[in-house]
Amino acid sequence: MSSSTSGPHNLPAKLLNELLSALRFYSRFPVPSFAFEGDPHRVPDFTALPRILPFAGAIMALPSILVAWLAALIGVSPLPLAMLVVASIVIVTGAMAEDGFADVADGFFGGHTVERRLEIMADSRVGAFGVAALVLALALKASTLADIFEHHGIAALSVALLVSGALSRVAGILPLVFLPPARPGGKSASVGRPGVVVTTIAVVTVLSLGALILFFGDIPLRGISAGLLLGFASTFPMMVLAQVKIGGQTGDVAGATQQVAEIVFLLALSVA
């Protein structure tokens, strides 16, 4: 295969290529295409994606940080400010993970067999479980962000958003690493399985850089430890639940895991 279709071969260009691909996949950013990319519209290579995902997740948090600063500048109170931030996150990501979270809630708790649960999850309609789960998730995000802003200020809120974006995106791919596809011919099976080594590197990157960023954001040490550790730890009950309910993972499970990790991370910061 020629380089014009297979993409760049040197490491810096490969990393940039993966970053652009990740931003296109996970966000609604108008990412331009470049000649060195090969096919700019392809699905990211998930076997290599984890090494760039912490940085893609942090970049996707930048618009919400800007919204937070602008709202704080004009004197918006904590809860409306946090709601604006959550709205900006949903807009940037196209609510992709939120949609997966709602589908998982509907499927896992609305079906009585594996086949029926998968069928419900594939349905574009949202049921009562999905609506309730989505409302609660958005409310938890807004309330914890408001609490962080009120007690620690805009700088702490900014670093919390930055690290949350990185941690939750890496957490979201852990089901793809450790669980088999629930649908052998589904989308999650076709994108490739992230390797344990490259995913471990991504987790270590988030833990080390995240701790440093949160420290300079004046987050208490107990909050840093609780947020980072519990954020990643929250993925394990999600994976156990997915294995029990549908026998593996799907793209919806990845999205739901991302949402849970994000909520737990922010909640831990707020409480600690």
Confidence of residue 4 (pLDDT cuts 50, 70, 90): very low
Pick the residue with more confidence: 11 or 239?
239
- Per-residue DSSP letter, 51: G
37 lies in some domain: no
Residue 32 inside a domain? The answer is: no
pLDDT at 39 over 90: no
Q: Number of structural domains, the chain? A: 1
pLDDT at 124: 87
Structural domain contains residue 31: no
Task: Copy the structure tokens of residue 221.
Answer: 């040490």
Please answer whether residues 4 and 38 qualify as being in contact, where contact means their C-beta atoms are separated by less than 8 angstroms: yes
Rounded to whole angstroms, the Cα distance separating 186 from 203 reads 26
| In the predicted structure, residue 7 carries a pLDDT above the cut 60 | no
> Could you tell me if 78 and 65 are in contact, meaning their C-beta atoms sit under 8 angstroms apart?
no
Which domain does 63 fall in, by range?
44-271
What pLDDT score does 3 carry? 38
pLDDT at 11: 65
On average, the pLDDT of the chain sits at: 90
Q: Does residue 8 fall inside a structural domain?
A: no
What whole-number distance in Å separates Cα of residue 134 and Cα of residue 100?
10
- Note the Cα 193 to chain centre separation in Å: 17
- In angstroms, the CA 18 to CA 9 distance is 12
Percent above pLDDT 70 for the chain: 92
Position 2 confidence tier, pLDDT thresholds 50, 70, 90: very low
Confidence label for 158 from pLDDT (cuts 50, 70 and 90): very high
Q: What is the pLDDT of residue 48?
A: 83
Interatomic CA distance for residues 98 and 2, integer angstroms:
38
pLDDT tier for residue 16 given thresholds of 50, 70 and 90: confident
Over residues 265-269, the mean pLDDT reads: 95
* 8-state DSSP, 32: P
Asked whether residue 38 is assigned to any structural domain, the reply reads no
CA geometry: angle at 106 spanning 21 and 182, to 5°?
55
128 is written with which tokens?
């009562």
Structure confidence at residue 9 (pLDDT): 63
Instruction: State mean pLDDT over 245-260.
Output: 95
Q: What is the pLDDT of residue 186?
A: 62
| Mean pLDDT across 153-180 | 96
The whole-number pLDDT of residue 148 equals: 95
Q: Are 210 and 166 in contact (CB under 8 A)?
A: yes
Please tell me the least confidently modeled range out of 28-42, 67-81, 189-203: 28-42
Q: How far is CA 45 from CA 17, 42, 50, 63, 259, in A?
A: 10, 9, 9, 25, 22
pLDDT classification of 216: cutoffs 50, 70, 90: confident
Torsion of CA 188, 52, 8, 40, to 10 degrees: 50
